[in-house]
Structure 1
Amino acid sequence: MDFQLLGPVGATAGRRRVDLGPPRQRCVLAVLLVEAGSAVPTEQLIDRLWEQHPPREARSTLYSYVTRIRAVLQSSGAAAEGVALVRRAGGYLLDVPPEQVDLNRFRRLVKDGRAAGGERAGSLLRRALALWKADALTGVPGMWAERTRAQLEDERVMAYLAYADNRVDGGRYEELLPGLRALAASHPFDERLTARLMTVLERCGRQAEALHLYERVRTQLAEQLGVDPGPELRRRHLELLSSAPVPAPMVLVPRQLPRQLPRQLPMAPTGFQGRARELAELNRAAGTDGLIVALVGPGGVGKTSLALHWAHRSLDRFPDGQLYANLRGFSPAGEHLPASTVLRDFLEALGVEPSAIPPGGDARAALYRSLIAGRRMLVVLDDVRDAAEVTPLLPGSLTCTVVLTSRHRLAGLAVAYGTSVVSLDVLSPGEARTLLSRRIGAARVETEARTVTSLLEYCGGLPLALGVLASRATAHPEFPLSMLAEELEEESDRLDALDAGDAGVRAVFASSYRALSPIAARAFGLLGCAPGPSIGLPAIAALLGLPIPRARTVVRMLEAAHLVQQHAPARYRMHDLVRLYAMEVAGRDVPADAREAALRRLVGFYLRGAYAAGRLLYPHRVDIEPAACGDGVVPPPMGTAGQALAWCDTEYVGVLAAFRLAAAHTWDDAAWRLAWALDAYCLRRAHLADLVEIWTVATRAVDRLGEPLPRAAARWRLGLSRAIFGERDGVLGLLRTAVALFARAGAAGCQAQVHQSIGLVMSRWKEHEPALHHARRALAMSRTLGNVNGEANALNSMAWCLSQLRRYDLALPHAERALWLFRGGDDPDGEAAALDSMGYIVHQMGRYREAIGYYTSAIRKRRMIGNVGQEPDSLVRIGDSYAALGESCHARAAWRRALALYRRQHRVSEAEQVQARFDGARPPWRPPRPSARHGPSRAAPPASC
């Protein structure tokens, strides 16, 4: 079976054309073929099919397309040829041998053609171009198809340009003219094609026609785009006018230039891997006259390797020679090479007698620029520290290309000379594995695959670390890689395991650290101590004890040195190995009391922010303490529940890390207050496992403090969180202890809330009579205290318990009263809970369409406030109501969404109950009639926590 993308999307089985169905179905197949061998997520398929406005039934429609494609493949005998469309990790994967897709064959032939030479190269490229029958993805609608079609068309043009160059080099001009004319006509603004056509016309003796073509294209560019032709096209025009290449300007030199042009590039790196994006950027930029490009990135990321690899691949672009200098800007030994010394070396390489080299730096720079003016040369300046040291080494000619490598961004060069900047990051996991495989052998990597995965994680994609690791592995090929993994497993030993003297990871980081100013060096050490994988600018300001504007200036110094990375606006992170070195620096150069003070400020910042957010998310919860400690740190500004939720979403990992840090240092007061502040958010976002961990740790902290209110609060929230997470052992003991401790402390409002929680827990356990008793106690206490929100919660809990006891006539008025109170008190969480209760009650009374209305309102309200913890409960119930009406499509869609949310929240029991609906184990679409025989539901109560 053969698949076609380079023309109308299609497939053939033998000589028979296979019917692939309507355009959108062909689009699904096209996406899977372009991504063949990789799983495409369902959401991505939907986006590519419908772009901005997918229909409500998008998933079911996509499923039907996939089902039909499977049927087509099965009927065509594709399985016998190794073709299969399978479900993978939330998406679909088309497993097809590469040679059965014309796009893959095209790319392989082009790659082989570029690597070959002479007639064989022309033959391979011609075969590749012959695979194109029309525009790629013909007949497939949508923006994705348009974007992909444009990308593939560019590949086609590049292949044709390579083919044209091959034919021109072989002197076979005439055969190119028809195809090249047609392609240039269909791409009127592609100056590469115009330049090639001008060359072919001139070689065929049609110089006047070539000049006329140039004038026509120049006029089109000016009239339609308002631009002039680019450097390549202008140069071709000048060459045609002079009937020969334009000569270089005459230059007076102290003596005749040597016949042997300077070839100073060091050896190309062996085993180079990846960097496709960066190489493509260099290739694009190299076509611009007067190019200066800076490869920037942290130490050890492979900037020099990339520069040399690209330079050796591009030697034909620089026929007049290549100059190279390592300026040692970050040399561990501090052997900085001044520009005047580099200029002396360059002048000697260009043929200037040593005795004729001027003594002054400005005179040397002037002579250097004169000697290389008009020549097509490459200048590689490695390990540059700042813009000032490299400025004298820049050519004055627009024909030269300069490639710089630096750990700094060299912003001054970009401003003054329009330098193009290519930023290098670590290798992707796939690139890192391939690199290690080439260095130590594919068999060894496959044999110890799991160990290799651990090693790659420890190296974090840093090429230098991978190189050191490979060197150690190849030094003892008979040793198992697990020995290396054991060394790298402990963070405290990791930098030692990756040590290689001046070329090791620690030495490279140290050279960057030595170049920092004192305030930036201190910030670097403290940031290494900060918990969490990333940190925002306000938190950095708290950590450093600086105003935000000053902290921004300092962190920009670290970012410019590539010691931190701004991966999102005003958020920063460190590579894991850089962080380990920063922690070493902090332990050595920052006093212990200064480190502790900085971390306490950071914990205080997170505490104030989380406390303020918790008050906005659940303003009606009885609070333990009116204010949270924060060591004078100003909390982040937030005025609405939406802003609070957004702040928590961004900072949650950092706040959780700060809690663990406080607990590890036994800063017990801060630890338990952070737990209290995090509680509301964790419930709303269903971080239930984290919540159990938080309160387990916080309970130990409050026991050390010995204060009654914190001890009561910790036991209350630990018991409730464990129950919600699905545990039972010890839960009631914790909650009853909390009631007793609150009673002893005189906190009646908290007592009422714990009774409410006990009722919720017992209802989840199907003990509805005791649950109703606790809900009544909570109601009585809340009314005595005048707590309207507590009264509403208790009424809703009673409504739920009564519905479980089949007393619907009493349950519904309680729920309606609760809804009225919640709305009057502006409590959207409570509103959603009451609406959910009312939906459940009227469902049991047989009023299914009315129940759907209540559930829909509850779901809308919960989505509005971001309450993903209880949204799936309502989705399950609305699915049951749809099923009771016989609307199975809507029912299954609701259950499917609920199942996904339960699994994402690791709620195994609830997920199994929903899965049973699909499997038919307990089909809710056959609901019991609303009679006395109708037993209680297995659903969890909707009451607010």
Structure 2
Amino acid sequence: MILEFGLLGAVEVREGDDVVEIGHVRQRSVLVALLVEDGKPVPVDRLLDRVWGERAPLRARDTLYGYVSKLRKLLSLDIERSPAGYRLKIDPSQVDLFRFRALVRQGALDEALGLWRGEALDGLESPWFDALRESLHAERTAAELDRNDLALAQNRHAELLPSLKRTAEERPHDERLAAQLMQALHATGNDAEALRHYETIRRRLADELGADPSKPLQDVHQRILAGGTTPGGPRQLPAPHPWFTGRTDELKALDPSGTVVITAIGGTGGIGKTALALHWAHRNLHAFPDGQLYVNLRGFDATATPTPPENVLREFLEALGEQTIPAGLDARAARYRSLITGKRMLVLLDNARSTEQVVPLLPGTDATVMVTSRLKLAGLVAAHGARSISLDALHPADARKFLEARLGTERVAEEPEVVADLVNWCGGLPLALSIVAARAAMDPDFPLAVFAEELREQPLDALDAGEIGTNLRAVFSWSVAALSDEASRAFKLLGSTSSEDIGLTAAAALLDRPATKTRMVLRELENAHLVQQHVPARYRMHDLVGLYAADLAADAGSRLADFYAATARAAAMTLEPHKVLPEHESGHVLEFKDNAAAMAWFDAEHACLMTEQRSALQRGAFDVAWMLGRTLNNYHLRRGRTSDDVEAWLGALEAAEALNDAGKQATAHMCLGANYVELGQSPLGHQHFDRSLELFAQSDDHEAHGSAHRAMAWAAEFEGDLEKALQHSLQGLEKFRAAGSEIREAESLNEVGWRYACLNRYAEARTYCEEAMLLNNKLGHSEGAAATLDSLAHIAHHDGRHADAVAHYEEAVALYRELDNSAEQATVLEHLGDVLHAAGRQAEAREQWTRALEMYEEQGRTSEATALRTRT
């Protein structure tokens, strides 16, 4: 059930039209004390103080626990208990208080105030609730005053006058309200009454508080005395965009902050910079009684060159009433600054091309300046203290609201899945949404599915409404045209990639430039909002920008693919130095100093490597596709990413078949067999094992045969056939010894010992594992040593040597941590918890199990996590 919680009046809970019973006043108090925190935990002591104050009963904690338990059952609430206190998890949109605040931030003041039903938290009593109620009423008052300012700015003086008079009587010391009443009286021709009201409040403030009226109130008084009909100054703002939605956080960030008077709003073409600026400006007209100046600087315009600042200054000076315009940029700028000084004005400089174009248009003091640009205008931030706000795509929920506002809720509700497709394809880009909505509005009888199908087939063609400014390709092209030759080349090369993002070193390989040069080129693209550095040294494009870049894509040959293949090989060999892998050439291959560096690179580049493997298969680069599948294997094992390993090996198998390489095919089948068994698809896994043995039989490669037996031993153990697992382990050991591979021999000795232990033959198990440990130490094989320590610990545990078991497990954990093998680390932590539990060290056991559980959950190992959760 979807519940709605009402706090702006008598406390109530509703399900649809029905009121839900929520218990007596103290139980309601507990609910409200948790609700107002918006998902944050409330310590128990603080909760007790909120509900009872100093009048808490005996056994108040037990009473509180009972209330929480009843609320959980009564309303099916998710109330979480932790050391930090109680936390109520709920969607903020279900609570009228949070809806009120969100609507106020969006400027929907009438709708926000319509949520109030009376006195907030009516019926709840405690010092804390009294203070909260007073604070909420202050928020309501502020919203009412904002709504009054907006109505006055829209010349709705007569409509507003009765409520202003009534409210002014209720709040005789509210100077902002008094100023509003005076403006309304003045605008409706009642100057005498306005001046009498000023004199009344002036005397009241002097007599009761010993204070003079505030400057804003005195300014209104002076304007009325001067005889003006409305606050003076130019009113140049264009109308706000009628279907503006979302941008709650950005609107909040635009509100005045300290001494910041210049704000630069940046973002890619079509992201909604101008719409945001105009929406905020119209919402805050009351803050700029001396006027608003606006200019489109045409910094990125297909039909005009950027407007010179001296031309803009002429227009501004004329708007400010100047009859004689000075000649020259400096003289005009000086005169402009003189006229602006001391005035509460807004200057909106739209679509700027550069900091140099903007600087002459900055007032000296007082006025608020807002600049929009496709560039970040770093010079404005660095030299003039501007606040920078970069716009990203709209949230999907806000994008849907935009379509509802433009097309109507009924039409949108008729095709919910199609609307989700439209939102997805538009990627939250307001211009794209506007184009789709405009096309749908021009063809009201067409189902929205028609437009969604066009977007699926050819997104950029579908986002062309046939006019300048409604063609997404054209809008993007203006940004690209402003780039340097090197940045334009880089943009087109980036369009040739198919991954969601790209790292700096990979981009350097793609551009065939040093990393330092590449960083500067990417910085230019970032400054133009054509790429985003979403984490340090990793770059991505908006989906639609990426499609446009792909249209322009330049052929980078195999540079990026060679970089990924060669560097993945280097990383894999860092993890397993004994691994034999063929060479792969690249002029940009990276080197890794240790396991942690190699694993960190795989972590960062994993999605790109998987994407590159698919791309390599499509264009016939089968050596690259094979290499990527092979090199990802150990990384996937260490991270417990079995499903990803299946995908990588299927790609490698396809490449091996295209290369007609039986050995590579056999290896792929062998690894796929183990993966499918682990995923619970044993029949499919054994099909791959059988095919692997058939292919290995065609060669005399003893090590390959040993690897096949080793994989099948693991699968047999996984399926519970321990005798078969031991048999394959012994065969694998024989093959590795015949091949002279000491590394694999050491690993197999441990696996034979482990299987003996699983069969309760601990003496034999210990012999094999101790021999494995000697050989691992001789070879410096850390991963083999860690696995063997795990086996020796298991044996010691079952021999009753708990101290030895704990020591072995702790050493194994340390080695796996050093190797960055989080999959095995989690498993060993669980085993360590088991032996600590058996030794009677319950608290330490629980600690290790908890750490293991967290890692299982991170790795998506659901079955292990479920089994362990019952013990933590």
1:273-299: CA deviation from partner (whole Å, max 9, x where unpaired): 1222222222124x647x222111111
Tell me if 1:868 matches 2:866. Answer: no
**Correspondence for 1:605:** 563
> How far apart, in 2, do the equivalents of 1:112 and 1:463 lie?
17
User: Closer, same or farther in 2 for the Cα pair 1:583/1:805, shift >3 Å?
Assistant: same
1:571 to 534, 538, 542: 538
**Correspondence for 2:336:** 368
TM-score (norm 2): 0.78
Partner letter of residue 85 of structure 1? D
1:236-285: CA deviation from partner (whole Å, max 9, x where unpaired): 69x99xx879999xxxxxxx999963211111111221222222222124
For residue 757 of structure 1, report the CA deviation from its aligned partner: 2.3
For residue 446 of structure 1, report the CA deviation from its aligned partner: 3.7
1:725-775: CA deviation from partner (whole Å, max 9, x where unpaired): 443346456556656766766544444333322322233233433432332
1:309-329: CA deviation from partner (whole Å, max 9, x where unpaired): 111111111112111111211
1:258-277 to structure 2, matched below 5 A, reads: 261-277=233-249
**Correspondence for 2:345:** 377
**Correspondence for 2:206:** 205
Tell me if 1:454 matches 2:421. Answer: yes
1:35 to 33, 38, 51: 38
SS in 2 for 1:422: strand
Partner letter of residue 378 of structure 1? L
> How far apart, in 2, do the equivalents of 1:767 and 1:790 lie?
23
2:580 to 620, 623, 643: 623
User: How high is the sequence identity, in percent, across the aligned residues?
Assistant: 38
- Conserved in 2, the CA contact under 8 Å of 1:110 and 1:159? no
Tell me if 1:698 matches 2:652. Answer: yes
For residue 49 of structure 1, report the CA deviation from its aligned partner: 10
> How far apart, in 1, do the equivalents of 2:643 and 2:102 lie?
49
> How far apart, in 2, do the equivalents of 1:440 and 1:164 lie?
32
- Conserved in 2, the CA contact under 8 Å of 1:879 and 1:890? yes
- Conserved in 2, the CA contact under 8 Å of 1:126 and 1:163? no
Partner letter of residue 67 of structure 2? V
> How far apart, in 2, do the equivalents of 1:137 and 1:667 lie?
72
1:409-488 to structure 2, matched below 5 A, reads: 409-488=376-455
> How far apart, in 2, do the equivalents of 1:718 and 1:340 lie?
70
1:833-912 to structure 2, matched below 5 A, reads: 833-842=787-796, 854-855=808-809, 857-859=811-813, 861-874=815-828, 877=831, 905=859, 910-911=863-864
**Correspondence for 1:72:** 67
Aligned length: 792
1:341 to 307, 311, 327: 311
User: Closer, same or farther in 2 for the Cα pair 1:131/1:891, shift >3 Å?
Assistant: same
> How far apart, in 2, do the equivalents of 1:203 and 1:455 lie?
60
1:833-892: CA deviation from partner (whole Å, max 9, x where unpaired): 223333444555567786566555545543443323334544665666677789999888
Tell me if 1:331 matches 2:309. Answer: no
1:57-115: CA deviation from partner (whole Å, max 9, x where unpaired): xxxxxxxx999978524547x866x4633799xx98645998988x6598599899994
> How far apart, in 1, do the equivalents of 2:204 and 2:611 lie?
70
**Correspondence for 2:729:** 775
- Conserved in 1, the CA contact under 8 Å of 2:566 and 2:586? no
> How far apart, in 2, do the equivalents of 1:104 and 1:34 lie?
10
User: Closer, same or farther in 2 for the Cα pair 1:132/1:816, shift >3 Å?
Assistant: farther
1:331-366: CA deviation from partner (whole Å, max 9, x where unpaired): 13244333333233323323345xx44454444434
- Conserved in 1, the CA contact under 8 Å of 2:268 and 2:529? yes
Partner letter of residue 672 of structure 1? W
- Conserved in 2, the CA contact under 8 Å of 1:795 and 1:817? yes
> How far apart, in 1, do the equivalents of 2:805 and 2:63 lie?
36
1:17 to 16, 20, 26: 26
For residue 540 of structure 1, report the CA deviation from its aligned partner: 0.8
Tell me if 1:389 matches 2:357. Answer: yes
Query: After the TM superposition, which of the residue ranges 712-721 and 375-384 deviates more from structure 2?
Result: 712-721
TM-score (norm 1): 0.72
1:278-357 to structure 2, matched below 5 A, reads: 278-285=250-257, 288=259, 291-353=261-323, 356-357=324-325
- Conserved in 1, the CA contact under 8 Å of 2:710 and 2:732? yes
1:633-667: CA deviation from partner (whole Å, max 9, x where unpaired): 2x224201111111111111112222222121111
For residue 375 of structure 1, report the CA deviation from its aligned partner: 2.5
User: Closer, same or farther in 2 for the Cα pair 1:863/1:68, shift >3 Å?
Assistant: farther
Query: After the TM superposition, which of the residue ranges 432-441 and 839-848 deviates more from structure 2?
Result: 839-848
User: Closer, same or farther in 2 for the Cα pair 1:545/1:202, shift >3 Å?
Assistant: farther
1:208-219 to structure 2, matched below 5 A, reads: none
1:744-823 to structure 2, matched below 5 A, reads: 747-823=701-777
- Conserved in 1, the CA contact under 8 Å of 2:786 and 2:815? yes
1:557 to 524, 528, 536: 524
- Conserved in 1, the CA contact under 8 Å of 2:25 and 2:124? no
- Conserved in 1, the CA contact under 8 Å of 2:107 and 2:283? no
> How far apart, in 2, do the equivalents of 1:820 and 1:70 lie?
58
SS in 2 for 1:663: helix
- Conserved in 2, the CA contact under 8 Å of 1:699 and 1:715? yes
User: Closer, same or farther in 2 for the Cα pair 1:603/1:164, shift >3 Å?
Assistant: closer
- Conserved in 1, the CA contact under 8 Å of 2:106 and 2:248? no
**Correspondence for 1:502:** 468
For residue 475 of structure 1, report the CA deviation from its aligned partner: 3.2
User: Closer, same or farther in 2 for the Cα pair 1:801/1:137, shift >3 Å?
Assistant: farther
Tell me if 1:170 matches 2:138. Answer: no
User: Closer, same or farther in 2 for the Cα pair 1:557/1:111, shift >3 Å?
Assistant: closer
User: Closer, same or farther in 2 for the Cα pair 1:110/1:350, shift >3 Å?
Assistant: closer
SS in 1 for 2:549: helix
> How far apart, in 2, do the equivalents of 1:841 and 1:585 lie?
63
> How far apart, in 2, do the equivalents of 1:395 and 1:130 lie?
53
User: Closer, same or farther in 2 for the Cα pair 1:258/1:164, shift >3 Å?
Assistant: closer
User: Closer, same or farther in 2 for the Cα pair 1:99/1:562, shift >3 Å?
Assistant: closer
- Conserved in 2, the CA contact under 8 Å of 1:719 and 1:732? yes
SS in 1 for 2:206: coil
- Conserved in 2, the CA contact under 8 Å of 1:274 and 1:431? yes
> How far apart, in 2, do the equivalents of 1:406 and 1:681 lie?
43
> How far apart, in 1, do the equivalents of 2:704 and 2:724 lie?
19
Tell me if 1:85 matches 2:78. Answer: yes
**Correspondence for 2:639:** 685
SS in 1 for 2:530: coil
Query: After the TM superposition, which of the residue ranges 415-424 and 745-754 deviates more from structure 2?
Result: 745-754
> How far apart, in 2, do the equivalents of 1:580 and 1:314 lie?
38
CA-atom RMSD in angstroms:
4.8
> How far apart, in 1, do the equivalents of 2:94 and 2:570 lie?
60
- Conserved in 1, the CA contact under 8 Å of 2:595 and 2:818? no
Tell me if 1:546 matches 2:513. Answer: yes
1:195-214: CA deviation from partner (whole Å, max 9, x where unpaired): xxxx9998612699559xxx
> How far apart, in 2, do the equivalents of 1:709 and 1:752 lie?
13
> How far apart, in 1, do the equivalents of 2:453 and 2:65 lie?
47
**Correspondence for 1:56:** none
User: Closer, same or farther in 2 for the Cα pair 1:807/1:768, shift >3 Å?
Assistant: same
> How far apart, in 2, do the equivalents of 1:899 and 1:137 lie?
44
Segments of 5+ residues of structure 1 without an aligned counterpart are 7-11, 21-25, 51-64, 139-148, 178-198, 212-234, 249-255, 926-945
- Conserved in 2, the CA contact under 8 Å of 1:83 and 1:96? no
